[in-house]
Amino acid sequence: MIALSVAAALAIFVVYTALAGNGVQQVTPSTVAGHTGDVTLVGAVVGAPQTSAAYTKAGMRFQLKDIGSASAARVPVVYHGSVPDLFKAGRHIVVEGSLRNGVFVAKPGSLVTKCPSKYAPAKSSKT
């Protein structure tokens, strides 16, 4: 009986993943090149972007680099829409969108700062 139910649950699961697709591709600034279509970009903010520009026509512009690795890869990002809390240089963020002509065009409002990991080794001021 238990086996049956487990099978049923697994079946629902398999059907869902088959229909809904295998999640969204997650990339970093060093791996984003060459990806067409929607991806999720994870990176650390470089420099101090003007958050209020997020509502102008031109949008807010900033650069992202890899978290943790010493890679020199940088990706320019243009973003419109509400800026989440604690967005600033060095913060790790996640943003959805797609790469167009070398610039990552973000989906409006899709910028998320990662849940602050209080226990990660010292970052912010050092990155």
Q: Which residue's CB is nearer to another protein, number 69 or number 100?
A: 69
Q: Which residue's CB is nearer to another protein, number 102 or number 119?
A: 119
Q: Which residue's CB is nearer to another protein, number 5 or number 101?
A: 5
In angstroms, the Cα distances linking 44 to 41, 63, 76, 91, 123 are 10, 8, 12, 5, 10
Q: How far is the CB of 88 from another protein (least distance, A)?
A: 3
Q: Which of 97, 62, 79, 76 is nearest to 29 (CA)?
A: 76
Which tokens is 99 given?
A: 């790469």
Q: How far is the CB of 77 from another protein (least distance, A)?
A: 17
Cα–Cα distance between 91 and 2 in angstroms, integer? 46
Cβ atoms within 10 A of the Cβ of 102, count? 9
Q: How far is the CB of 80 from another protein (least distance, A)?
A: 10
Partnered with residue 76 across adjacent β-strands are 63
Q: Which residue's CB is nearer to another protein, number 76 or number 90?
A: 90
Q: How far is the CB of 74 from another protein (least distance, A)?
A: 18
Instruction: Enumerate binding residues for another protein (CB under 8 A).
Output: 1-2, 5-6, 9, 12-13, 16, 20, 22-28, 31, 40, 42, 50-56, 67-69, 82-89, 91-92, 109, 114-122
Q: Which backbone phi and psi does 39 adopt, to 5 degrees?
A: -140, 170
